[in-house]
Amino acid sequence: MYRYDTYDQAMVDARVAEFRDQAQRRIDGKLTEDQFKPLRLMNGLYLQLHAYMLRVAVPYGTLSGAQMHMLGDIADKYDRGYGHFTTRQNIQYNWIKLEEAGDILADLASVEMHAIQTSGNCIRNISSDHYAGAAADELIDPRPYAELLRQWSSFHPEFSYLPRKFKIAVIASKRDRAAMRLHDIGLEIVRNAAGELGAAFYIGGGMGRTPMVGPLIRDFVPLDQLITYSEAALRVYNRYGRRDNKYKARIKILVHELGKDEYARQVEEEFAHLLEQNVEPPLAELERIKAMFADPAFKPGLPTKADRTDPAFALWMDRNCHAHKTPGYISATISLKPVGGIPGDASADQIRLMARLATQYSFDECRVTHAQNIVLPHVEIGQLHALWQQLDAAGLATPNLDQIDDIIACPGLDYCSLANARSIPVAQQISERFAANGKADAIGELKLKISGCINACGHHHAGHIGILGVDKKGLENYQLLLGGSEAEDTSLGKITGPGFDEAGIVDAVEKATDVYLAQRTDGERFLDTYRRIGMEPFKEALYG
Amino acid sequence: MKILTGNDLKSGAVTWWDGRGWSLNVDDAVDAGDQADAIIARESAAQAVNAAYAIDATRDDAGHVRPAHIKDRVRALGPTVRPDLTLKPADPAAVNWVN
């Protein structure tokens, strides 16, 4: 994985010193809150419902054991003993003190981490496939390109004050595990007819109050022009994106209003201009980065099958593990969704345990997934049972990946000052309901996602079942959506009809799954059945 | 009544104007009446509170203050999904107060 060079470390250390000074000046009364707010947001520090919240960047979700361990230590030392893994593959702490924020950033910098550009109208953390570098179905490891984009976008002087925040995802397989087309820019690394590698650019996707699936703007950009094309795409947005209305300021609105063809034409014009300016980083820099993402020393000739005599282990292996590109290895997902738990939350002890397991079993590497789980990407199949035993003892072996209780949920009104309704209690009740009624296993794959407001941090538009919390005359109300997908078959969910109260939404989810169970044909997922039979049977069950 | 709330500058903790200073307990909140803007301006300038604002609330016969909006009730109590981190960790029914 990527390691800082002296320039990286110096930049991050300088930012720590700068923020320490800014925070002290705020405490001393030399800066007003209006002056300080944009400075703290540039360092990921929000003021939320109960305290300051710090969002720490985890580039493309990849962490070393030492980095993960530090995240656990920070939870203990500066917070209340836990952290919350987010849908942008980051981690957030909910109980931060301003007077300690500089110390936290210094601790992060000591393990090559920071909170830079985790907020504000800039290019945010680059996300990617959580199985990158391990998946059997990928063309190449997309992370060197994600890292190149990270370096290009960090402190980019032209793109530090964009009309609105900007999110980029990079994948390199046909299976989309990063919600690529729901990003401002989604890059899919592809091979053209001549066998050359390049990137397809999908631009203008996103969720939020105006969800859109990103259209294909260019089907092939040579990999040695990736930054140049990205710069052109951003430059057109920065020039024409609306700054008069924050709700119309995202690039998706610009692409939609210009039309994708006109937007693409303008990007091509800028691209041609930039190619003459030679803005692409030197190839040597990409090669330097690539070398740090070389495969670990996978052993040849390892057993390719595990002892499955323990049925609980076999179930977990079937549900939570993913095929690896190297025989004898497998990627294991640690679910942070125990029955009735808070999606994405992990205690300091659990975080440190996952760090130790990453070191012991996965070449010192783990990943945060956008679904708020943790992946150990490179586990020997022969050691999988021993790993599972340790996870099971720590309550981290819930076998529910991509099932109805593997719920994505934003912090909602329990923590977030933007939220209109609580997300977490709804997630907990659905999880408990389906654990009690035993239907989760029968239902199989069903991605359920909950947001506590229209900003859609809980990806409700992309849930096979989505739930959106709204404020209805001062009361929490929940709209139900069906038919969304964040995968390669990206689609946006549709609202079923009038919303429900907290108890009603849990019943509504069960009714929707009952329709599916009654109407599915062999092999159909919930999403497939919905797409085949449409909304009406569900509406009839919900409101008839 | 009109009560004032904000956050402590250093800790970020939710605080309530009690007539003389800023309390962690919503029940200490007092009616700021038509002085809300003046108090906020004075206290903010003195760094005694951060991001302060006025909200509607009621006080019941037992003296308990209840903010009108659920968002401020969650702020007053703490996260409903972590009773151990609320201001009333020993009260299993505390969460019901938010609804």
Supply the DSSP string of A59-76, one letter for each residue: GGGEEEHHHHHHHHHHHH
Strand locations in A158-223 (E): 168-171, 185-191, 197-203, 216-222
Rg of chain B on CA atoms, in Å: 13
State what percent of residues in chain A have pLDDT above 90.
100
Please answer yes or no on whether A474 and B69 come within 8 Å at the CB atom: yes
Residue whose tokens read 């009406």:
A536
Backbone torsions φ then ψ of A443, nearest 5 degrees? -75, -40
**Which residues in chain A are closer than 8 Å to B80, comparing Cβ atoms?**
414, 422, 425
Cα distance between residue A40 and residue A118, in whole Å: 11
Q: Does A93 lie in the same domain as A200?
A: no
Q: What is the pLDDT of residues A42-67, one digit of tens each?
A: 999 999 999 999 999 999 999 999 99
pLDDT in tens, B37-65: 999 999 999 999 999 999 999 999 999 99
- Buried b or exposed e, range A266-277, using 16+ CB within 10 angstroms: bbeebbeebeee
Together in a domain, A148 and A269: yes
pLDDT digits (tens, 9 = 90+) for B70-81: 999 999 999 999
Which A residues 407-446 touch B at CB under 8 Å?
A: 413-415, 417, 419, 422, 424-425, 428
- DSSP conformational letter for A352: H
- The answer to whether the pTM exceeds 0.95 is yes
Q: Of A61, A87, A109, which residue constitutes the final position of a domain?
A: A109
Q: Which residue is it, tokens 């964009």?
A: A162
Three-state secondary-structure class, residue A158: helix
Q: Please report the pLDDT score of residue B92 as a whole number.
A: 80
Residue B58 touches chain A, beta carbons under 8 Å: no
- Taking phi first (over 0 means left), then psi (-120 to 50 degrees means alpha), and beta for anything else, what does residue A281 get? beta
Range of the domain at A350: 311-393
Inter-residue contact A442 to A425 (CB < 8 Å) = no
In-domain check, residue A240: yes
CATH of the domain at A46: 3.90.480.20
Residues A105, A163, single domain; the answer is no
Of A393, A427, A450, the residue that ends a domain is A393
| B10–A97 CB contact, under 8 Å | yes
Domain residue ranges of chain B, discontinuous segments joined by +: 2-98
With beta carbons under 8 A apart, name residues in chain B contacting A415: 79
Q: Domain ends where: A257, A291, A325? A: A291
CB atoms within 10 A of CB A80: 17
What are the helix (H) ranges across chain B?
Answer: 36-45, 70-77
Phi, psi of A163 (to 5 degrees): -55, -30
Least Cα distance to A172 among A153, A146, A207, A148 occurs for: A146
Chain A residue with CA closest to B86: the answer is A50
Determine the 3-state secondary structure of A234 from DSSP.
helix
Q: How many Å apart are CA A143 and CA A126, to the nearest integer?
A: 9
Complex ipTM value: 0.96
pLDDT, one tens digit per residue, over A238-297 is 999 999 999 999 999 999 999 999 999 999 999 999 999 999 999 999 999 999 999 999
Annotate A366-420 with DSSP letters as a single string.
EEE-TTS-EEEEEEEGGGHHHHHHHHHHTT-----TTSTTS-EE--GGGT-TT-S
Q: Is A230 domain-assigned?
A: yes
